[in-house]
Amino acid sequence: ETGVTQTPRHLVMGMTNKKSLKCEQHLGHNAMYWYKQSAKKPLELMFVYSLEERVENNSVPSRFSPECPNSSHLFLHLHTLQPEDSALYLCASSQENRNTEAFFGQGTRLTVV
C-alpha cells in the first residue's frame, strides 16, 4: 500500500458511456497527477494539480476532464472515449516544492469497447 488509492481497479466502458476514475492520497501531499500508461509506450503525463490548481494539461483531448476538489482527492471524468483510450491510468501525488518521491497508485485498467 503506497498511500495512494485508486478506484476502480478495472473498468470496462462503452464509447457512449460516462464514467469517473477516483484517486485519494493519505500522505498529506498537495500536488496530484494523472498519467496514462499504454502498451509499448512510455508513461505519459496528462494533468498536474498543485495546491488544487491545474498547472499542466499535456494536450489531452477534452473527453478527459480532471477535477481536484481538495488536496487529497483527484478525479478523471471520462466521456465518449475511443478504443485507443484503453490503458492503465495512474494517479500520483507529491509534496509541492520539495524534490521528494512521487508516490503512485496501483492504477485503473480501463478498457473501452
Q: What residues line the site for other proteins (CB under 8 A)?
A: 2, 4, 31, 33, 35, 40-45, 48-51, 55-56, 90, 92, 94, 96-97, 99, 101-107
Minimum Å gap between C-beta 111 and other proteins is 15
Instruction: Please state, in angstroms and rounded to a whole number, the distance separating the CA atoms of residues 12 and 85.
Output: 11
Cell 496501483 belongs to 106
Which residue's CB is nearer to other proteins, number 13 or number 43? 43
Q: Residues 54, 29, 27, 22: what is their CA dihedral angle, to the nearest 10 degrees? A: 0
Q: How far is the CB of 33 from other proteins (least distance, A)?
A: 8
Closest distance between other proteins and the C-beta of residue 39, in Å? 11
C-alpha angle with apex 77: 7 to 73, nearest 5 degrees?
55
